[in-house]
A and B are shown apart, each in its own frame.
Chain A
Amino acid sequence: MRTKIFVLIILLVTLFNPGRILIYFFLPVILYFMLLDSGLFRFILKRQFLFFVFILLLLQPLLTGSKEFSIFSINFSLDTFYNGLLMILRSLIIISSISCLLINSDKRKIQNLFNKIGINNFDKMFSYSVELLPLMKKELKKFAAFNKKKIFLNPIEVTAQFIALLLVSSKNLIHKTRGGGFYDE
């Protein structure tokens, strides 16, 4: 619990602090997260994150800002590079702290949340869907396999037939809850 509160404070401070303070704040926070769970930083190898690193640290300094710095006769803006670096540091802290908070969260609590916000029959609906899920997966697979070409030629008709089939079988689901079998007609 104490860790959660501490991580939450780190997250809020990073979200609302002026960018340049991050430079001093960054190292101890990252060390702390590494001690908690080194797996929190797996996202830095993801293509999406590397794309942002490329834009913020390479492309942006080359294209925008006053180019006061030169290396190998390539001019780039040091100020823009520095801003990009701060943004990357900010994202490192924010993404890892959100991951840290979520890893320690209970998924069932979120499920209960929907009951609290006013979807009164949520538990009943959800138990139906858990029962329906294997059937749905099977039907969807069959549907995709049988209608590979047809779906592009006449998507409305093919999908309508599938939905009609599902709606008819959903009536059997109610029947089942009243004591009958799922496929009883």
Chain B
Amino acid sequence: MESNTGNNEIAVTALFGTLWGTVELSLGTLIHSLKIPFSGTILAFIAIIIISISRSFINYKGSTLAISSIAAVLKLIILPGFNINPFLAIVVEGIIGEIVYLVLSYNLFASITAGSLILIYTLIHSLIMQGVFFGPAIYKVYINLIDNLGMAFNFKYHFAYIIIPLIISIYMLLGSLAGWLGWKIAKRTKDILEEEFV
């Protein structure tokens, strides 16, 4: 990677990594302190946009992983304490983005796919952590509670089988929207830069 990455690419990688890190540090802290629900989803939505834009400018192998690593380390070092959860989430988001762009290369479809996969991961991330903390039985608790909710509405079948795919679809849709937004912003940014230099 060292041989392929020029000084300009290193600086732009640092720029997008810092942008992501700054959003995590400022907006993330604000959202958490205000106790706004779905804070992880909001931050992931912005992260997808940043990933999608960055890949348009720095399309070398490992660039998405590099910007996510910078954002994760910035958050880890600057915030007090040692909160592994957001650190892990940022790195995994970067890994997912990197794999998608490596396989599909940078285009609108890849941005949408990366977006929906990253946002699904944010949904799964908290579920995985809950499974580690409380044990796998927590999933059965959720399914039972959702089914009981269905029974309250006189729904005969497993209510969880409808609610869970519905939540996943909403997350996929939101992720796709973020990916599309990132792709559009990147395109417009390139136009602005061209206009400026022509």
Residues of A within 8 A of B (CB): 15, 19, 47, 52, 55-56, 59-60, 63-64, 83-84, 86-88, 90-91, 94-95, 98, 102-103, 105, 107, 110-111, 114, 118-122, 124-126, 128-130, 132-133, 136-137, 140-141, 155-157, 159-161, 163-164, 166-168, 170-171, 173-174, 177
Contact = CB atoms under 8 A, between A and B. Distances in A.
Contact of A136 (B22, B57, B66): B22
B148 A64 contact: yes
B35 A47 contact: yes
B26 A91 contact: no
B193 A98 contact: no
A111 B189 CA distance: 31
A125 B17 CA distance: 9
Interface string B4-44: 01011011111101110111011000000001000000000
B18 A136 contact: yes
A171 B15 CA distance: 10
A52 B137 CA distance: 13
Contacts of A60: 141, 144-145
B73 interface: yes
A144 to B, nearest CB: 9
Interface of B: 1-2, 5, 7-8, 10-15, 17-19, 21-23, 25-26, 35, 49, 53, 57, 62, 65-66, 69-70, 73-74, 76-77, 81-82, 84, 87, 130, 132-135, 137-138, 141, 144-145, 148, 181, 184-186, 188-189, 191-193, 196
A102 B138 contact: no
A119 B66 contact: yes
Q: Which of B49, B69, B77 has the most CB of A within 10 A?
A: B69
Contacts of B22: 133, 136-137, 140
Nearest first, the 9 A-B pairs at minimum CB distance are A128-B14, A160-B188, A129-B18, A102-B82, A120-B2, A91-B133, A164-B192, A160-B189, A87-B134
B10 A128 contact: yes
Contacts of B130: 52
Nearest to B87: A110
Given A110-B76, A132-B15, A163-B185, A125 B10 contact: yes
Contacts of A83: 137
Contacts of B66: 119, 121-122, 125
